[in-house]
């Protein structure tokens, strides 16, 4: 009986000591990014009869520690100055490939670029995701079933010719490489084509002009100017002739179109919208040879799409110009969207989608094995990892330039520390009491 009393007290001391260990670890990591607080789970102990019977006089044997359970509740987020820092809002873990090629999971979103362009944590372990491949301006995500180490290519991007056309091709590429949206003044007075024949150098020979910048295969910029001449309303109402020059000079054969021959754009009389039946040569097919380019670049082939023009009784103006060419550019910065898309910003103004961060969820996060360094590993108790994009399914979203703080409640931990200190003292007192009773029994003789 006395031995049992000592065992009960000792088990209480052990339970309180274990609880204090957990509390101390929580307090020590209250400032650790992505840390999840733990709590000890205890249970009572009873001696069993050899026959399996149960006595109504059973006395407990004390307590024991069943588990150390982590709380995967959301921690507060804090803004940082690093665009590659990421905070998960909701469920999920980052997947990282360790230096020994094993896979681990973390809520710590403090990442940087290493010398090779990989996104890594402070241990140099690589963040996993879906890498992208840019082909002809399109982006396709690769490795949708098998994440890989995310690489931000440190080299820049090469120049892209407007239209991306091939002078040897049989037709103009699909799409609208140079698209212009604007308005032509319906109340404008048509110039006299006999008294004032069109000349790009004579402002009286046209009603309106605008220009746009295009790029050749070497990234050199060129100026394309369009001149709009209103036709005689009595002969061809709601129609305009369009002349084109390239770098300030008229285009002549073998270039097209011939600058001396206009294209024509027409509009509906009812609402001033573009009318394809009244238009000729719209979109305008442009072909500029190497000699005219003067840069040694490949011949330039693209469309000028003017179908976005209208004819209303307001000033002639341009609302929007877009084209798909660009000069070469170097990487200027990296950012991450809420859906985990890693975007590269380049000095030429281009933005490219380079990768997508993945998040991993588990059926039982408490079954994960703690590895230290804010990392966990999969186990049989956690279930298999489910990989997906941020914001998809049960996955949370990502906040760029932020980190998730520890979810330790310091006030609660300090109160729990006092409670466990009292528990320890009480269990020590029970051992002391048992010792005094045993000493009294010994002194009976």
| 350 vs 245: CA distance, rounded Å | 27
| 401 vs 112: CA distance, rounded Å | 11
**pLDDT value of residue 169:** 43
Specify the DSSP class assigned to residue 382.
T
- Closest CA relative to residue 12, chosen from 39, 43, 53, 51: 43
Is residue 209 classed exposed, middle or buried when 0-12, 13-18 and 19+ CB atoms within 10 A define those classes?
A: middle
Return the bridge partners of 89, or none. Answer: 397
**pLDDT value of residue 202:** 94
| 96 vs 111: CA distance, rounded Å | 11
- Closest CA relative to residue 360, chosen from 72, 89, 143, 92: 92
Give Cα 371 distance to the centre of its chain.
Answer: 28
Give the Å distances, CA to CA, from 369 to 337, 358, 401: 30, 20, 28
Return the bridge partners of 415, or none. Answer: none
**pLDDT value of residue 60:** 62
Judged by DSSP in three states, 428 sits in helix
What are the backbone angles phi and psi of residue 33, rounded to the nearest 5°? Answer: -65, 130
Specify the DSSP class assigned to residue 91.
B
| 304 vs 282: CA distance, rounded Å | 8
Q: Beta strand pairing status for 138-141 and 126-135? A: antiparallel
**Which pair of structure tokens corresponds to residue 339?**
């859906």
**pLDDT value of residue 165:** 52
The pTM for the full model equals 0.72
Give the Å distances, CA to CA, from 92 to 274, 382, 434: 51, 13, 51
Mean pLDDT by 10 residues, the chain (445 residues): 63 81 91 90 65 58 77 92 94 95 95 94 94 52 72 86 61 64 95 90 95 94 96 91 92 81 92 95 92 89 94 96 91 91 90 90 92 93 91 91 93 89 81 75 70
Radius of gyration in angstroms for the set of CA atoms belonging to the chain, rounded to a whole number: 37
User: Residue written as tokens 């298999």?
Assistant: 384
Buried b / exposed e along 182-191 (16+ C-beta atoms within 10 A): bbbbbebebb
């Amino acid at each position: 009986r006395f031995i049992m009393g000592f065992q009960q007290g000792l088990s209480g001391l052990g339970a309180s000591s274990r609880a204090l260990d957990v509390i101390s670890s929580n307090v020590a990591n209250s400032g650790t990014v992505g840390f999840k607080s733990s709590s000890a789970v205890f249970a009572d102990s009873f001696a069993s009869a050899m026959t399996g019977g149960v006595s109504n006089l059973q006395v407990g044997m004390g307590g024991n520690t069943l588990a150390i359970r982590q709380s995967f509740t959301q921690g507060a987020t804090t803004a940082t100055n690093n665009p590659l820092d990421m905070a998960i809002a909701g469920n999920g873990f980052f997947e990282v490939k360790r230096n020994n090629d094993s896979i681990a999971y973390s809520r710590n979103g403090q990442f940087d670029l290493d010398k090779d362009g990989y996104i890594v944590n402070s241990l140099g372990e690589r963040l996993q995701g879906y890498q992208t491949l840019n082909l002809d301006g399109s982006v396709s995500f690769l490795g949708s079933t098998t994440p890989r180490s995310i690489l931000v290519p440190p080299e820049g991007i090469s120049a892209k010719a407007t239209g991306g056309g091939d002078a040897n091709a049989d037709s103009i590429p699909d799409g609208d490489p140079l698209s212009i949206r604007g308005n032509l003044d319906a109340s404008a007075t048509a110039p006299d084509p006999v008294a004032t024949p069109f000349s790009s150098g004579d402002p009286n020979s046209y009603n309106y002009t605008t220009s746009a910048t295009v790029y050749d295969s070497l990234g050199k910029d060129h100026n394309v100017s369009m001149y709009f001449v209103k036709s005689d309303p009595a002969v061809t109402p709601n129609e305009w002739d369009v002349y084109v020059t390239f770098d300030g000079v008229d285009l002549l054969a073998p270039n097209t179109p011939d600058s001396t021959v206009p294209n024509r754009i027409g509009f509906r009389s009812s609402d001033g919208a573009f009318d394809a039946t009244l238009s000729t040569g719209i979109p305008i097919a442009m072909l500029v040879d190497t000699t005219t380019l003067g840069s040694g670049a490949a011949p330039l082939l693209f469309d000028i799409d003017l179908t976005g023009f209208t004819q209303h009784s307001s000033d002639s103006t341009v609302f929007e110009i877009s084209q798909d060419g660009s000069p070469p550019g170097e990487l200027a910065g990296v950012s991450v969207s809420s859906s985990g898309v890693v975007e590269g910003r380049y000095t030429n103004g281009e933005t490219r989608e380079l990768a997508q961060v993945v998040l991993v969820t588990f059926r039982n996060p408490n079954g994960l094995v703690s590895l230290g360094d804010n990392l966990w590993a999969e186990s049989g108790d956690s279930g298999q990892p489910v990989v997906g994009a941020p914001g998809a399914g049960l996955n949370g979203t990502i906040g760029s330039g932020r980190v998730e703080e520890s979810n330790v409640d310091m006030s609660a931990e300090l109160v729990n520390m006092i409670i466990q200190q009292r528990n320890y003292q009480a269990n020590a007192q029970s051992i002391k009491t048992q010792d005094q009773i045993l000493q009294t029994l010994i002194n009976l003789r």
